[in-house]
């Protein structure tokens, strides 16, 4: 398939700027692949579509406050430093994006607020990318606390055109987030509340975790018409043995296995055994899923509504079938569903 087949006109007014007042009261579109039927529900109704022995696979990555603001030595110019990943824990070496990049050269030092935190630019990696080394004397615990205190919740400002608010700290995080490492939230999981989780448990539905630390590559635009030429950024993931066992038991019993979000789906599809079962794995994946694709593990997908030409939309299209997904998106626009991280949800069965 070609990039242009994923183009559609998304009114700016439908890009959600804030989450729904209550997590589980977002809207939910239910898309039935067998019949093409589209239903309009509320997220908390999701439990009606699952029964005893079905499984939800959630991504328990935790978003860290990755956006920092520093001042350049001598000039005092404010520089945004977006932490991508830690390269070396011992010497506090990080892969980052800087803005404005033209002002930042190798050897420059950045000072952060009133703290003792200073960083030196060690290398250029891409036009906006830099490798920086934090110069910090305290313990690891003190270092991470300082980063946490200085950092801001990394809501994606390309699509959410407002300043970060205090509420984002809680709302741009799933209620089951556990392992710190993501710079973007696995957004399909943002709709779950403790009440919904409890009602699923009472119904006999298992909820099991995988971990995939979402990187900024999730928002990186595809800039080639031929999708086979696009390269995904690598992301670190873990499929625990306990989770794999529960999923495989459900598959053997012909039950529903629902991937909560494209990140859970990528983790599972990156860890398939020769017998089309989920295997425990820990590693990195750059798997790019676009149509046509034969999904081996999940037979249901919960996801948000995605922006045009995004890799997330491409995976949803591969799962739903391209024509049905385009029809669903046109319906969503007509019915004024909200798109992107803080937007509404779609359940594809």
Residues in the chain predicted with pLDDT less than 50, given as ranges, are none
Q: How far apart are the first and last CA of the chain?
A: 23
Residue pointed to by tokens 């110069």: 135
Structure-token pair, residue 290: 């676009």
Supply angle C-alpha 337, 187, 218, rounded to 5: 105
Tokens of 252: 């053997």
- Where does residue 261 fall: left (phi above 0), alpha (psi -120 to 50 degrees), or beta otherwise? left
Whether omega before 207 lies within 30 degrees of 0, making that bond cis, reads no
Cβ partners under 8 Å of residue 57, min gap 6: 208, 209, 210, 243, 247, 257, 258, 259, 260, 264, 268, 298
For 49-115, the DSSP string reads G--TT-EEEEE-EEE---EEEEEETTT--EEEEEEEEEEETTTTEEEEEEESGGG--TT-EEE-TTS
The encoded tokens of residue 5 equal 């087949």
Backbone dihedral region for residue 45 (phi beyond 0: left; psi -120 to 50: alpha; all else: beta): alpha
Domain spans of the chain, in order of start? 3-63+170-348, 67-152
Does domain 67-152 bear CATH number 2.40.10.240?
yes
- Measured between alpha carbons, how far is 30 from 210 in angstroms, rounded to an integer? 24
Give the tens place of pLDDT for each residue, 192-248.
Answer: 999 999 999 999 999 999 999 998 888 788 999 999 999 998 999 999 999 999 999
Q: How far is CA 208 from the centre of its chain?
A: 17
Distances (CA, A) of 94 to 90, 154, 237: 11, 16, 19
Superfamily of domain 3-63+170-348: QueA-like (3.40.1780.10)
pLDDT of residue 42: 98
pLDDT of residue 317: 98
């Amino acid at each position: 398939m070609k990039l242009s087949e994923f183009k559609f006109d998304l009114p700016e007014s439908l890009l959600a700027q804030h989450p729904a007042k209550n997590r589980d009261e977002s809207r939910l579109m239910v898309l039935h692949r067998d019949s093409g039927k589209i239903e309009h529900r509320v997220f908390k109704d999701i439990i009606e579509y699952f029964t005893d022995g079905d499984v939800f696979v959630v991504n328990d990555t935790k978003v860290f406050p990755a956006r920092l603001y520093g001042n350049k030595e001598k000039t005092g110019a404010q520089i945004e430093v977006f932490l991508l990943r830690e390269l070396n824990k011992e010497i506090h070496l990080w892969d980052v994006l800087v803005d404005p990049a033209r002002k930042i050269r190798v050897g420059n030092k950045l000072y952060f607020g009133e703290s003792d935190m200073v960083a030196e630019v060690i290398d250029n990696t891409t036009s906006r990318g830099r490798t920086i080394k934090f110069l910090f004397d305290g313990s690891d615990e003190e270092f991470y606390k300082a980063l946490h205190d200085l950092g801001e919740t990394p809501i994606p400002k390309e699509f959410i055109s407002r300043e970060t608010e205090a509420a984002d700290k809680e709302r741009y995080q799933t209620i089951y987030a556990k392992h710190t490492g993501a710079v973007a939230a696995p957004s399909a999981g943002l709709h779950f509340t403790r009440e919904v989780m409890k009602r699923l448990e009472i119904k006999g539905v298992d909820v099991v975790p995988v971990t995939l630390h979402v990187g900024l590559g999730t928002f990186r635009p595809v800039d080639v018409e031929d999708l086979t030429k696009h390269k995904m950024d690598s992301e670190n993931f873990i499929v625990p043995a306990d989770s794999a066992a529960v999923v495989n038991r459900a598959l053997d019993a012909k039950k529903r296995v629902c991937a909560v979000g494209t990140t859970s789906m990528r983790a599972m599809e990156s860890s398939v055994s020769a017998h089309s079962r989920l295997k425990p794995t820990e590693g990195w994946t750059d798997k790019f899923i676009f149509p046509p694709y034969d999904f081996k593990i999940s037979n249901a997908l919960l996801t948000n509504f995605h922006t045009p030409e995004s890799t997330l939309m491409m995976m949803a299209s591969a799962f739903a079938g391209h024509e049905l997904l385009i029809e669903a998106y046109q319906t969503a626009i007509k019915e004024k569903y909200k798109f992107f991280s803080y937007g509404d949800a779609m359940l594809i069965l």
